[in-house]
Structure formats: structure tokens, C-alpha cells
Amino acid sequence: MSRTFNPKHRIVIEGQDVRKLLDDDVISLSFEDHIEEADAVSFEITNRKNQWIDHALFDRGNAVEVFLGYGPQPPKIFEGVIAVVEPHFPGDGVPTLSITAYDRSYLMRKKGDRDEAYPDRAPNDLVREIAQRYRFRADEIVTPEETPERRYYQQESQSDWDFLKALAKEIGFELYMELGILYFRKPRTRPETVPGTFAYRDNLQSFEPSLSAEKPVSKVVVRGWDEIAKQPFQVEVDDPFAADRDVLGEQSGSDFMDEGFGESVRILDDVVAANEAHARAIGVAYFRRKEFELINATGSCVGDPELKAKRLIRIAGAGQKFSGTYYLTRVTHRFDDGGYLCDFEAKRNAISRISVEDARDAERLESEGYSLGR
């Protein structure tokens, strides 16, 4: 983890370092990094004489880079464009100006809905094709060399971002922006990528984990329509990760639930499969998503620029069941008069070994009205 002394920030707009220009006018800075939403930076500056409200520096569309961390050269944590400028004129106190910038996926989200057919495409080809509409260079798009088979895709009254997010969900991938790069790939879950350990009452200020007692699904049924044969079909998909999975702990969610609850089957009817291979991909993607719903957690810690959504965090001092490696889904970096702090949300697909009796106790408590998480 980064050394926790003398945190610093730097804001660059249209290539101009604005530290000297703004001097001490920056009141606060926050960076919101989320697995589902566009990354966003917001900063508030004093505007005593309305000197900033009409300044060209803060025009919508201007490029923004933000650096935050420790030492003389804090790392870059954000690249994007200014989207919102909000002046505040309070009854008491100094007028201020709030500026919000989003990453480039914001343009893909807000461009408007589109109806378009894509015959004979592989998912990674679709991502590259659509990203190039927004002037992404080839080296700004990261996709695996191989994804599920080529087939027909239909975009129906969806923004380009929503269409690609639905595609990612369908095959168990993630779609996100990070420092100007568009990523389309499987979630990263290997513990060797963890930047450091956060221990309760040390650099971890608070931690609230929640163990889900939702009845597990060990098999799914995916239905589809065969255009060639002109008839419906269905495919049963068992948990494909039972023998070989990246587990963030000793006992996976599937193993833990199987031990206590046995088999449960769910019919997936939100997507109509085009063929059996497509149906199997839908089933596999479902299990990959559900694997990370055993434990959900929120926490607060000393600020660290290495903490990012879509990455891992290691928790210590939270007992045997809840200590270990978690997958970050949201991280908010806050820098103000109170210092540099991070709030986070995370999830986990495993726990340390607990008994069938503990699992059944969790189910009993939920049935009695106790909330054990979603």
C-alpha cells in the first residue's frame, strides 16, 4: 500500500496544470470509481468574485486529468472530460463552483439510442467496431483474442454502452474504462493482483460484511429458438466452476451452499438463446456472476490510489469467516480538509470453512426476518 503521509493532488485541464492558477481555491476533490457507472471526478473551488464561473478553463468537453496520492509525483487516477458545471450562491458564506468530469464512456452512454443489426460478429469484434465510432484507437481497446462464437446480434433502442454492457453480462465479462482505455474481459479474481492488506483498527477504519443466505442455484435451464429448425429448445447448465475456479477464500460460495442446501434449479428466461452454444454461454455467465454474491461488504480506509473498482483488496482483523480477499465494486476517493480517505464496496465468492449448522442457522435467521444481505 502507498505510504500514508502528506497526500497531494494535481488537476490538469487541457494540458494545463492548474495548481498555480487555482492556488488555494480548491476546497475538495472526489473520485468515484464504479464497476457499472462512468468513472467521475468532482472538485469544488471558491468563486468569491465570480472569477471562475465564465472561465474558458471549465468549459464542457475540456479534457481533465487528476493525480492523487503521496510523495512528490502522485499517480494519475483519472482521465475524462468536463460534463457538468454548477455554481453555488449561498445565503451565507463564500460562493463556490462545482465541476464534474466523466470518463469517455460517458459519451457512449449519452449519445442516444440506436437500432442496428450486426450479422456474423464475435463479441470482441463488436466492442472494437462500436468503440471506433468514438475515436478510440486500437491501442485504447483491450479485449481477449477469443470470445464466444460469431453470431447475429441486434441492438434495439439501446445506447451503445447499454448494448455492450448487456453483451458483457450475457457472456460473464466486464466492460469498463480506466485511464482512457476501454476494457472488455473476464473479471480479475486472482489473489496475486492484490495491492496490499487493510487491517481493522489500523489502516481499515470500518468494515461491514454481510453473508447472504439466499438459496443457491446449482443448475440453470436456458431456453432458445432454433431459427433453422424453427423450433424451441432448452439446455441445462451445471455449475461449470465446481472443479476449477479462482476462489477468493478457502470455500467457494457454490461449495458452501451445496454443503448446506443441496441442489436448486433456476430457469433463465430474460435472454432467448440463438443456439445451444449461446445457451451454454448464458448459463456459464450466470454462475460467474452469482459466484460473487456470497458476501457483500462496505468499508472505509486510509486513502490509497491503488484501490480501484474491478480490482482486489485484502481484509484482515475481521474474524475467520470475513477476513480475506474481496473484489472491489465501488471505490470513492475523498480529499479535503479532513485528509485523504477511501470508501469502498466489495464482494466475495468464498469464506473460510464453516459448518452446515452455521449455514442452516443463517437460513433460519433470515426466515425470522433478520437481514443477512442481498
CB atoms within 10 A of CB 117: 10
Residues in a beta bridge with 76: 67
pTM: 0.74
Q: Looking at the structure, do residues 40 and 93 belong to the same domain, yes or no?
A: yes
Number of domains in the chain: 4
Show which of 76, 102, 128 is a domain's final residue. 102
In a domain, 205, yes or no: yes
Q: Looking at the structure, do residues 205 and 354 belong to the same domain, yes or no?
A: yes
Q: Looking at the structure, do residues 93 and 133 belong to the same domain, yes or no?
A: no
Q: Looking at the structure, do residues 206 and 353 belong to the same domain, yes or no?
A: yes
In a domain, 190, yes or no: no
Which grid coordinates are listed for 129? 467496431
Q: Looking at the structure, do residues 304 and 205 belong to the same domain, yes or no?
A: yes
Q: Looking at the structure, do residues 277 and 301 belong to the same domain, yes or no?
A: no
Q: Looking at the structure, do residues 339 and 206 belong to the same domain, yes or no?
A: yes
Q: How far apart are CA 326 and CA 322, in angstroms?
A: 9
Instruction: Among 67-71, 236-240, 247-251, name the one with the lowest average pLDDT.
Output: 247-251
Distance from chain centroid for Cα 305: 16
Average pLDDT of span 60-70: 94
Q: Looking at the structure, do residues 91 and 31 belong to the same domain, yes or no?
A: yes
In a domain, 87, yes or no: yes
Q: What is the pLDDT of residues 77-90, one digit of tens each?
A: 999 999 999 999 99
**Top-confidence range, 185-189, 312-316, 368-372:** 312-316
- CATH number (domain holding residue 329): 2.40.30
Which grid coordinates are listed for 216? 443457491
Model confidence at 189, pLDDT cuts 50, 70, 90, reads low
CB 328 within 8 A of CB 311: yes
Q: How far apart are CA 80 and CA 45, in angstroms?
A: 19
Q: How far apart are CA 264 and CA 261, in angstroms?
A: 8
Q: Residue with C-alpha cell 464475435?
A: 122
- CATH number (domain holding residue 67): 2.30.300.10
Model confidence at 188, pLDDT cuts 50, 70, 90, reads low
Q: Looking at the structure, do residues 204 and 349 belong to the same domain, yes or no?
A: yes
Show which of 102, 137, 162 is a domain's final residue. 102
Amino acid at 238: D
Q: Looking at the structure, do residues 307 and 202 belong to the same domain, yes or no?
A: yes
Mean pLDDT, the chain, rounded, equals: 82
Q: How far apart are CA 82 and CA 107, in angstroms?
A: 11
In a domain, 191, yes or no: no
CB 73 within 8 A of CB 17: no
Which grid coordinates are listed for 1? 500500500
In a domain, 337, yes or no: yes
Range of the domain at 91: 7-102
Model confidence at 101, pLDDT cuts 50, 70, 90, reads very high
Amino acid at 173: F
Residues in a beta bridge with 81: 63, 102
Residue 5 is predicted with a pLDDT of 66
Q: How far apart are CA 372 and CA 101, in angstroms?
A: 36
Q: Looking at the structure, do residues 11 and 90 belong to the same domain, yes or no?
A: yes
- CATH number (domain holding residue 131): 3.55.50.10
Show which of 74, 102, 130 is a domain's final residue. 102
Which grid coordinates are listed for 51? 472569477
Model confidence at 20, pLDDT cuts 50, 70, 90, reads confident
Residue 356 is predicted with a pLDDT of 36
Q: Looking at the structure, do residues 31 and 91 belong to the same domain, yes or no?
A: yes
Q: How far apart are CA 262 and CA 217, in angstroms?
A: 9
In a domain, 2, yes or no: no
CB atoms within 10 A of CB 174: 17
Q: What is the pLDDT of residues 104-158, one digit of tens each?
A: 898 898 888 899 999 988 899 999 999 999 988 888 999 887 777 788 889 999 9
Give CA angle at 353 (349, 358), nearest 5°. Answer: 95
In a domain, 374, yes or no: no
In a domain, 322, yes or no: yes
Question: Alpha helices, DSSP H only, in the chain?
Answer: 19-22, 105-110, 123-131, 160-171, 253-261, 276-290, 319-322, 356-367
Residue 360 is predicted with a pLDDT of 44
